[in-house]
Structure formats: structure tokens, C-alpha cells
Amino acid sequence: MEQSFENKLSGIQLNYKIWLSDKDGKGILGDGKWKILKLIEEKGSIKAACDELGWTYRRTWGSLKKIETFFGFPLLEKHRGGNDGGTTKLTQEGKKFVMAFDRFHASVDSVIVKGFDTLIKDLKK
């Protein structure tokens, strides 16, 4: 195999996204919404989580409401007002969903990384 091709292989990085769709292929929840849910729980605020990711509040709120509508339970618990402003946290169901997606992602990640490593080895033969 040509040396320059092997050099190129060492510069390849694996990138992928995981998302769940309904039976019609319409996206429900994926890596981005999983990430925003985790940030909302960490920051206690949808706005702070959106600001960190550079997302708009309105679009994010709409996306999260669609997930809640699809599954039929609230993911978020909002508390308005106070001197320091309101807070938003995940509901118990929301936390369960995020933790399950965490575990799912971890198991899939290891399989995908192993497959990628095999791909690179096969191409170097």
C-alpha cells in the first residue's frame, strides 16, 4: 500500500451521531437533545444550557416539548421567579431517560470504536 495513503489513515477521526426516530423516520431524540437535557440538569436553566451550546431558547423549548408529547410525560420541571430567577430541572422520568441514553450510548460507543479500529487495520493490510 502506498505510504501517503497510510499517512492519511492516521489522520482520520471517527465521528457519528445517534438518534431515535418514530416509525415514519421523524427524529425524536438524539445526541444534541440528550446533551441539552444533561446541561439543563447541570446548569438548572434552559437558557444557560442554550447559551453554552449556542442554541436558541425558542427552538430548544419546542424540540423538548415535542419529545414530551411523543412519550407522554414531562422531561422538565420548571420553577419560576425568585430573586435569582427561576430554575429548570429534569423530572424523575427525564433523569431516567437521560441515564438510560447514557448507558445505551456507552455500549454503542464501544462497539463503534472497535469497528472503526478494525476498519483502519483492514485498510492498512
Enumerate domains of the chain plus CATH numbers.
20-124 (1.10.10.10)
Q: What is the pLDDT of residue 9?
A: 86
Q: What is the pTM of this model?
A: 0.82
Q: What is the pLDDT of residue 55?
A: 96
Q: What is the pLDDT of residue 83?
A: 66
- Cβ partners under 8 Å of residue 120, min gap 6: 9, 12
Q: What is the pLDDT of residue 3?
A: 65
Query: 21 forms bridges with which residues in the sheet?
Result: 27
- Identity of the residue numbered 41: E
Distance CA 115, CA 109 (A): 10
Taking Cα atoms as reference points, which of 3, 9, 26, 29 lies closest to residue 18? 29
CA angle 98, 100, 74 (to 5 degrees): 45
Question: Are 100 and 38 contacting, i.e. CB atoms less than 8 angstroms apart?
Answer: no
Q: What is the pLDDT of residue 102?
A: 95
Q: Which residue numbers in the chain have pLDDT < 70?
A: 1-3, 82-84
